[in-house]
Structure 1
Amino acid sequence: MSAAIAVIGMILVPIIALVGIVVLDGNAKAVETGGAGGLRNVPVEFQPWILRADAACPEPEMTPALLASQLWTESKFKTSKEEATSYANAQGPAQFVPETWATWGHDDDGNGDTSPWDIGDAVMAQGRFMCSLLKQAKASGYGGDPRGLALAGYNAGWGAVEQYRGVPPQSFARGETYSYVHDILTDLPRFQGPGLLEVSGSGSGPDALRRAVARAGTPYSWGGGGPDGPSTGFCDGTNGYLNGQCSANSTVGFDCSSLVQYAYWPTTKLPRTASEQYGATSDRGVSRDALQPGDLLFWSHGGSGSIYHVAMYAGDGNVLHAPRTGRVVELQSLNSAMPQGDYFGATRP
């Protein structure tokens, strides 16, 4: 709906703000999924991409719930061409017209096609566009909620925001932009779920786990990340590739061991790789039935010299980790996080 008219809105043709409206089934419902890193009422196939788009934006006003509420208003999470194409040719769940898509669309899901119909491509483009607009809104000096200004820019084009020095009034474009902003901000609580994980207790383990949980949704990047946070990684001929293309060198994120290093730093300065982290903590081994939040778990192809993965115990039989290229920092069952036969042991830093 809105991104479909963003380019047109920049040349200030107010009535055209209506052309992005998609006619949808009023009974369409999102899937109730419970909490997922601060999200609820979002289809499972959208969740990781929303979290990833949020993590990629440094603006604090960006939240997963804001992106989710916007997607609901845009398309009700519809992905078919029949249900998510407007008569202005706005396309996909985030409603981009080709002109705007050419600026913001990338092959984020690595399938070889940059498409507004691909959930990953669409949500990441939405996130990039909104992130840029939030930055622009805060620099503008206009009054009001920066989120409202950014949403208005997404819907009607930044030119309309400049014209009114704020969110356009109800008299603009029959109230389309005004209602768009109002509805998205009003619906935010509907999509705000509990945090991915509530960590209780004190001490280095729980403290490190809380620090790591705050990075849920951050993309996996082989060789990326460190004590200061996520960063781009690299490809080494075997690792860091997605669908045959090097992904790590353009992905800001963590790999499994940099997430752990970041979580414990600076209180405990663990080394960089999973194997080194095991070596630095192996004298404090923990049996599987005595695990506590923040303990490190290791997987190996055979012996301490072949350790290839590390995760943090999150309680209740779950781990928090950065699994592999194409995934994000996420919570998983210890039994399914990695091949069970590769489980090597646990330590307490």
Structure 2
Amino acid sequence: MKVLIGAVAAVAGLLLVAVVGLVSIVLVDDDDAQASETASGGEGLHGVPEEFRSWILKADAACDQPAMTPALLAAQLYQESKFKTSPAEATSSAGAQGPAQFLPSTFATWGRDDDGSGETSLWDIGDAVMAQGRMMCSLINSAKNSGISGDVRRLALAGYNAGWGRVIEFHGVPPKDWSGGETYNYVKIIMSTMHRYEGPELLEVSGSGAGAKALRRAATQLGIPYSYGGGSPNGPDTGSCDGVNGYLNGRCSALTTVGFDCSSLVQYAYWPSTHLPRTAAAQYGATSHHPVSRSQLKPGDLLFWSHGSTASIYHVAIYAGDSNVLHAPRTGRNVSIAPLTSAMPEEDYVGATRP
């Protein structure tokens, strides 16, 4: 059994397959945008919705195969269902169902009442993810003992998608010209996107109160991409471009990037207990009556940067303790932890407030 890493906070999140290959080159520093409301390592994990994270880690810990990792399970879940859990969004034309896309007949073999709900259901996140983990663990073991050359993870993924019999038939991953390349591309995409779920930025958040709670909630989004105009109290979402902001490599990346901008991340962190407005400037206006000096900063406090005055605030971050902030920096970057002194230009720092 593997040791389950007990990071208090990691990321939740989603990446569109369409933008997996984006090169992280920053062309424009983005300010905040107005947007409407909508909602490392082998053992680490980030970039997944909070409700999936503990189950992915638990499924990985239950497997004695070193090739199994949380990132592998996370990338597979995204490819299967994009972490969707409703029948309308997670039912395939072939009859596969739930976040791990099991046929009911296959789930009957691997499914258990892992979440203790009294029902074994492929629609329950816990039951589905644990069943996925059991099946993948078994497939990895089969691959290791099969005598078939190649990465056992690739072989296991092919077995999950096409059935282990096909792996034996082709003595490896089915070729690109088999079944329209479905299994070939399935394996290729998961293996190429897996790294995006590896290596959490660990953040220990102690204490109670609104600030600590908001910081914990924000920390679940570590690793989610910046998306200008994207995000809401309900979570990450695609954004928009305004002619200046939201562009990467000359194109509007925000339109296809599921993520947050700086103020939507803050709004998400404090929701639903505190309904902060949408933009950084408005958030400053709503909290400026409670200013906080640097020497008195507490986790969850908001920090602001401006081009000259409070009327031109362009960035907000959440104080994470130890002179660090948690923020969504700019297009081409991800939600991350950074030193307060270098998160944004020091000369632009306006001050901090406590919601």
TM-score by length of 1: 0.57
Aligned residue for 2:135?
149
Displaced runs of 4+ in structure 1, greater than 4 A? 35-40, 55-66, 123-128, 130-134, 150-153, 191-195
User: What is the CA–CA distance in structure 2 between the aligned matches of 1:64 and 1:222, rounded to whole Å?
Assistant: 34
State the 1:196 CA deviation.
Answer: 2.0
Which secondary structure state, in structure 2, belongs to the residue aligned with residue 129 of structure 1? helix
Do the aligned partners of 1:51 and 1:64 also contact (CA within 8 Å) in 2? no
State the 1:207 CA deviation.
Answer: 1.0
1:255-266 matched pairs, under 5 angstroms:
255-266=261-272
User: What is the CA–CA distance in structure 2 between the aligned matches of 1:270 and 1:36, rounded to whole Å?
Assistant: 25
Return closer, same or farther for 1:138/1:56 CA change in 2, 3 Å cut-off. farther
Aligned residue for 1:158?
161
State the 1:62 CA deviation.
Answer: 4.8
Which secondary structure state, in structure 2, belongs to the residue aligned with residue 337 of structure 1? coil
Could you say what the CA RMSD is over the residues aligned between the two structures, in angstroms?
Answer: 4.4
Do the aligned partners of 2:10 and 2:221 also contact (CA within 8 Å) in 1? no
Aligned residue for 2:79?
129
Aligned residue for 2:333?
327
Return closer, same or farther for 1:322/1:37 CA change in 2, 3 Å cut-off. same
- Asked if residue 218 in structure 1 is aligned to residue 221 in structure 2, the reply is no
State the 1:262 CA deviation.
Answer: 0.9
Q: What per-residue deviation string (whole Å, max 9, x for no partner) do you get for residues 162-187 of structure 1?
A: x69xxx9xxx68x989xxxxxxxxxx
Structure 2, unaligned runs of 5 or more: 1-6, 12-39, 83-95, 111-130, 140-155, 174-196
The structure with the greater share of residues assigned to helix is 1
State the 1:38 CA deviation.
Answer: 5.3
- Asked if residue 241 in structure 1 is aligned to residue 247 in structure 2, the reply is yes
Do the aligned partners of 2:49 and 2:220 also contact (CA within 8 Å) in 1? no
Return closer, same or farther for 1:57/1:286 CA change in 2, 3 Å cut-off. closer
Aligned letter for 1:348?
R
Aligned residue for 1:312?
318
Aligned residue for 2:292?
286
Which secondary structure state, in structure 2, belongs to the residue aligned with residue 335 of structure 1? coil
- Asked if residue 231 in structure 1 is aligned to residue 237 in structure 2, the reply is yes
If asked which structure has higher relative contact order (CA below 8 Å, sep 6+), I would say 2
1:1-349 matched pairs, under 5 angstroms:
40-41=40-41, 51-52=46-47, 54=48, 62=56, 73=67, 128-129=78-79, 135-137=100-102, 140-144=106-110, 145-149=131-135, 152=139, 154-156=157-159, 158-160=161-163, 196-349=202-355
User: What is the CA–CA distance in structure 2 between the aligned matches of 1:335 and 1:65, rounded to whole Å?
Assistant: 39
Structure 1, unaligned runs of 5 or more: 1-34, 77-93, 95-122, 178-190
State the 1:128 CA deviation.
Answer: 4.3
Count matched residues.
Answer: 242
Which secondary structure state, in structure 1, belongs to the residue aligned with residue 223 of structure 2? coil
Q: What per-residue deviation string (whole Å, max 9, x for no partner) do you get for residues 80-125 of structure 1?
A: xxxxxxxxxxxxxx9xxxxxxxxxxxxxxxxxxxxxxxxxxxx998
Which secondary structure state, in structure 2, belongs to the residue aligned with residue 325 of structure 1? coil
Return closer, same or farther for 1:325/1:309 CA change in 2, 3 Å cut-off. same
TM-score by length of 2: 0.56
Do the aligned partners of 1:223 and 1:233 also contact (CA within 8 Å) in 2? yes
